[in-house]
Amino acid sequence: MENERRTARWGAAGLEWFSLPLLVLVWYLLAVVVDHRLFPTPVTVVRELWELALHRSLIADVGKTLARAAIAFVTAMGLGIVLGALLGRLRSVDRLFGSWIIIGLNIPAIVVAITCYIWLGLTEFALILAVVVNKTPLVTVTMREGVRALDQGYGELAQVYRVPFWRRMRLFVLPQLMPYVLTAARTGLSLIWKIVLVFEVLGSDGGVGFRIGIFFQNFDIAGILSYTVAFMTVVIFLEYAVMRRLEAKVLGWRPAFQSR
């Protein structure tokens, strides 16, 4: 039985490792079939990526975008967790501000960005604020549902045995909330990258989105794809090196995760 599980895990890992090479192969075959300068091959893009890294500001642009995304991510997660906890615990507060959350979830990101830029100018603070405003409602809703789903039986048990507050939080509350925190973090990362890039195109003094906007004006598709590959490499590294390891450590006790 154990051998079968080990074989299944190795088979699943093999499929994951094969996924990206398969994507590159499909890209290469499509580029060969299309055979047009606006559809470069992976080789052309990698060569352009190398030249940009050596002679231009690719590393600086990626670093600037990552810094903006990191600040916005941490701020939005912190605010969303606090607001979600309040809305989940206090029904009156949820009724009062529930419509605000709905508006925040559905207001177009481009409207928030343009408004912040008009009010605050094309500044770093305006860009990060716009991203936070767009991301916080999603985290709030996720955490609100997590707080509502807490098993009250554990709370009663802790109260009967007079478990201290912080110990109760660590042993009973946080383990139940962590799946919701990780879900909010993963969806938040996937959205924040995109939002930051779009806002950088609208107005910034550097970053991946800013540079892609310049490449777009020059119809430089190789440059656009080069920056895209560089940025997605960082995102994939964060997914496998950080998020999945954190998920395995925090949720490793769950059978659903172990059979993944």
Give the domain range for residue 139: 36-258
242: in domain:
yes
Confidence (pLDDT) at 5: 60
DSSP string, 232-249: HHHHHHHIIIIIHHHHHH
Could you identify the residue written with the tokens 């540079």? 211
What CATH number does the domain containing 251 carry? 1.10.3720.10
pTM value is 0.80
Segments in the chain below pLDDT 70:
1-14, 56, 153-158, 160-161, 165, 251-260
Confidence (pLDDT) at 240: 81
| Counted domains in the chain | 1
Six token digits for residue 211: 């540079």
Confidence (pLDDT) at 137: 92
48: in domain:
yes
20: in domain:
no
Q: Please state, in angstroms and rounded to a whole number, the distance separating the CA atoms of residues 145 and 97.
A: 15
Residue 176 near residue 150, CB atoms below 8 Å? yes
73: in domain:
yes
12: in domain:
no
Q: Please state, in angstroms and rounded to a whole number, the distance separating the CA atoms of residues 109 and 37.
A: 33
Q: Please state, in angstroms and rounded to a whole number, the distance separating the CA atoms of residues 181 and 89.
A: 16
Burial readout 135-156 (b: 16 or more C-beta within 10 A, e: otherwise): bbbbbbbbbbebbeeeeeebee
21: in domain:
no
94: in domain:
yes
DSSP 37: T
4: in domain:
no
Segment 155-188, tens digit of pLDDT:
666 676 677 767 777 777 777 888 888 888 888 8
Angle formed by the axes of helices 58-89 and 91-106, nearest 10°: 150
